[in-house]
Amino acid sequence: MINQFKTLNPINLLLLFAYTFFMRIAFLINPPPRLNFEFLESYTKFMIQIPLGSSMSVTGNIMLAGVLIYIQAIYFNRIVNNHQLLAKPSFLPALLYITGASLFDPFLILSPVLICNFLLILVMDKLLKIGKAPNAIMLMFDVGLFIALGTLIYFPFVMMLLLIWLSLLLYRSFNWREWISGLVGFLSITFFLAVFYYWNDSLNMFYQIWLPLKNKFPSVFTIHYNDYLVLLPVVIMMVLALIQLRENFFRSFISTRKAFQMLFFMFLIAILSCYTKSNFKLYHFLLCVPPGAVLLAYYFSNATKRWFYESLFLILVIAIQFFLFV
C-alpha cells in the first residue's frame, strides 16, 4: 500500500477517499447513540450561535468529519510537496495524515480541533515560506490572524503564538517589525472581541477568557495504558523516522532542516497546550497529526526494505481497526 502512494498517480485520490471511510467503518457500523458538537468556545458563542450540534445526526457527523479530514489531507499533501520536505513528491503525507487522524474514537467525529487543523495547516504553510521571503511582516501578520481565529474556536490554539517567535529564531535574523507583526495580527481579532464585550457591559468576562493561561501544568496523569496500545506502532515508526532524519540531517538543504525543527516545535506545543484546558478531551491531540504525519511520511519516503515498511504500516492499520472495533 505504501508503495502505491509513493507516486503522484491521480488514481490515489480515489483510493485515499475510500481509505478515509474504511478507517471509519467501525464507527459507522456501531455509532454512539448521540454526539454533541460544540463548534465555538463559550466566549465566542456570546457573540454568535451556530446550532450545528443539535441538528446533525450521528452518521452525518461522522461522514462530514471524514470529508473534512480528506480535504485537509489533500491540501496538507500539496503543502508538503510544494515545500519539498520529502525525497520526492508523493501522496504519502495525505495517507499518513488520514491514518493519524483515525487513531482514536474522538478523532473520528466533528470537533473544534478538527476545524482548527485547517488553520494549523495554513499556519504551517505560511511559516515554511518565511525563510525564502524577503520580508516576513505580512506572513507573520497572517499567521497571527489564523491563530486568533483558531482561538475563537478552541482556546489552547492560542499557544501557537509561541511558534511564531520560535520560527523567526530559526529562519531569520532579528527584525522587531517581524516579531510584533504576528502579535498585531492576533490582537486585531482580539480587539474586536474585546469591543463586543465592552458594548455588552461584560468586560470582566473578557478578562476571564485568558485566565487558563495561568493554569499549572498537571503533575499527575491518569493513563489507561490499554487505550493507548495503538500508539506502539506509531512510536516505532517515529523512532525509525528520527534515525533516518538524523542520518540525512546534514546532507539535507538548510531550509529542510529548519522546516523539521519548526515542525518539532509545533508538535511539542500541540501536546503541551493541553494544560490550558482543564477539561480537555482526547481530540485535543489531533493538533499533533499534521507535524507527526510529515515525520512519518519522511520515514516511508526514504525506507528501502519494502517487506518491512509495508508490514509495519499494515500492522498499524490492523491495530487501529482492532481497537476501534473493540
Q: What is the pLDDT of residue 224?
A: 62
Q: Which pLDDT does position 227 carry in this prediction? A: 65
C-alpha cell at 215: 493554569
pLDDT for 279 beyond 80: no
The per-residue pLDDT for 118 is: 95
171-214 confidence digits (pLDDT tens): 888 888 989 999 999 999 999 888 888 888 788 888 888 888 87
Give the model's confidence band at 163: pLDDT under 50 very low, under 70 low, under 90 confident, else very high: very high
Rounded alpha-carbon distances, angstroms, from residue 204 to 72, 137, 186, 211, 276: 37, 33, 20, 11, 19
Is the pLDDT reported for residue 217 higher than 70? Answer: no
Are 27 and 62 in contact by the 8 Å Cβ rule? The answer is yes
The DSSP string of 34-90 is: ------S-HHHHTT---TTTTSS-HHHHHHHHHHHHHHHHHHHHHHHHHTT-SSS--
| 50-71 pLDDT tens trace | 655 556 778 888 899 999 999 9
Residue 80 has pLDDT above 70, yes or no: yes
- What DSSP line would sit under 281-323, residue for residue? -GGGGGGGHHHHHHHHHHHHHH---HHHHHHHHHHHHHHHHHH
- What's 3's DSSP letter? T
Q: How confident is the model at residue 34 (pLDDT cuts 50, 70, 90)?
A: confident
More confident residue, 43 or 84: 84
Neighbours of 277 (CB within 10 A): 14
What's the CA gap between 189 and 306, in Å, rounded?
49
The pLDDT score that the predictor gives to residue 76 is 96
Categorize the per-residue pLDDT at 77 as very low, low, confident or very high, splitting at 50, 70 and 90. Answer: very high
Task: Look up residue 200 and give its three cell numbers.
Answer: 455588552
Q: What is the rounded CA–CA span in Å between residue 277 and residue 311? A: 38
Reference 113, options 317, 324, 277, 325; nearest CA is 277
Helices 161-171 and 176-199 pack at an angle, to 10 degrees, of: 170
What pTM did the predictor assign? 0.92
Assess whether pLDDT exceeds 60 at residue 116: yes
Average pLDDT, the chain: 85
89-103 exposure pattern, b = at least 16 Cβ within 10 A, e = fewer: bbbbbbbbbbbbbbb
Give the range among 9-18, 77-86, 273-282, 313-322 with minimum mean pLDDT: 273-282
Q: Among 138-147, 188-197, 205-214, 220-229, which range has the highest average pLDDT? A: 138-147
Cell of 245: 532524519
Chain-centre distance of CA 1, in angstroms? 24
pLDDT of residue 226: 66
User: Are residues 111 and 286 in contact, defined by beta-carbon separation less than 8 angstroms?
Assistant: yes
| Residue 248 burial class via C-beta count within 10 angstroms: exposed 0-12, middle 13-18, buried 19 and up | middle
C-alpha cell at 90: 508523493
- Residue 288's pLDDT is 93
